[in-house]
Amino acid sequence: MYSVSINERVVTIKDDEEQINRFIEEYKPFIASCVESFSGRFVRYGEDDELSIALIAFVEAIKSYDSNKGNFLSFARNVMKRRLIDYYRKEKKHNHTISIHEYVGGEEDDEIDLSAGQAVDQFSKEVVSEYRRLELQELKKEISEYGISFMDLTEVSPKQTKTRKQYKDVILFLLSQNDLIKYIKTKKSLPIAEIEKFTGVPRKTIERARKYIIAVVIVMTGDYQYVKSYIDWGVIQ
């Protein structure tokens, strides 16, 4: 029985292979449940490639985890999902015919057959869409801590070319400064004086763009892979 939290435990064992192996053994049921939820079918260790991929991804999550990434198990689940999506995409290279129920959990007597490429593509799109929705939910929760809503972002989105360039200058400057990123996430505000000094963007413009700039910084420095590719942030494209 550990007195420390799972998050703290992961941080302490990430460079200890023996401890990592013990941790993995304890969480094999969790890993399997994530794979089953993702694939829509029962899986067994030693038989299903998905479990091998998920185990590798779980180790990857342990070694790359830090406290800024939130709850470890949620972080690990996300890493496993991404690796499995990559796996299914690679499977599109195969051209033999398979039953759709293998990918979406249908009944054994399904009569609909698709090529492997079509089935994997359909499944991948559905999974990515669902995962993006979950990321947006998490983003909504995170930006609310800064007093920001999605409606706010719509209202403050830059429209003019000059404004878009100014926002871009500020965002790229912040993304290059780890200490300022830490300041934003700790203080829940922008270091306006530093931004004005190093970018030349007027203070009033920075203040007006506060919510938008913070939201973009959160996405670009957070665990939001699918939101990054989905939302047209404009200024960072």
pLDDT in tens, 156-206: 888 888 888 899 899 999 999 989 999 999 999 999 999 999 999 999 999
- Give the mean pLDDT of 46-53: 88
The pTM for the full model equals 0.52
**Alpha helices of the chain — where are they, by DSSP H?**
6-13, 17-26, 28-39, 49-64, 72-90, 101-104, 116-144, 150-156, 161-175, 178-187, 192-199, 203-208, 210-221, 225-230
Residues 125 and 33 in one domain: yes
Domain-embedded: residue 236:
no
Q: Residue 167 is part of which domain span? A: 150-230
Domain-embedded: residue 237:
no
Residues 116 and 33 in one domain: yes
pLDDT for 113 beyond 50: no
For residue range 63-97, what is the model confidence (pLDDT) as tens digits?
A: 999 888 888 998 999 899 888 888 877 765 443 33
Domain-embedded: residue 1:
no
**What pLDDT score was predicted for residue 103?**
35
In DSSP terms, 113 is beta-bridged to 99
Residues 80 and 169 in one domain: no
Number of domains in the chain: 2
For residue range 115-156, what is the model confidence (pLDDT) as tens digits?
A: 444 544 555 566 666 667 777 888 888 899 999 998 888 888
Cβ contact 84:55 at 8 Å: no
